[in-house]
Amino acid sequence: MATIKLREMQVNQAGVIVSVKGTGELGRRIRDMGLVPGKQIKVQGKAPLLDPVCLRIMGFTLTLRNNEADYILVEVN
């Protein structure tokens, strides 16, 4: 078990969100999409230039930029 930033996750790696920093519009948009503590996520892929990332949460697919992923801490195995 280790806690890392979402940006550092590998493709196909899964984990559970521990905390979401970020306020204002960005924080709000992140949470609105269900990126809240306790949710299971799995990195599904990365864009051709390795940014943004694409992940799976609650059964749907979501993309976000690396600098946005920095606000999210994930516990991984």
Write the DSSP symbol of residue 26. H
CB 42 within 8 A of CB 12: yes
State the binding string over 5-44 for another protein (x if CB under 8 A, else -): --------------xx--x-xxxxxxxxxxxxxxxx-x-x
Q: How far is the CB of 16 from another protein (least distance, A)?
A: 13
**Burial class (CB within 10 angstroms; exposed 0-12, middle 13-18, buried 19+) of 54:** middle
Residue with token string 């976000």: 64
Q: How far is the CB of 8 from another protein (least distance, A)?
A: 18
Binding-site ranges for another protein (CB under 8 A)? 19-20, 23, 25-40, 42, 44-52, 54, 56, 58-65, 68
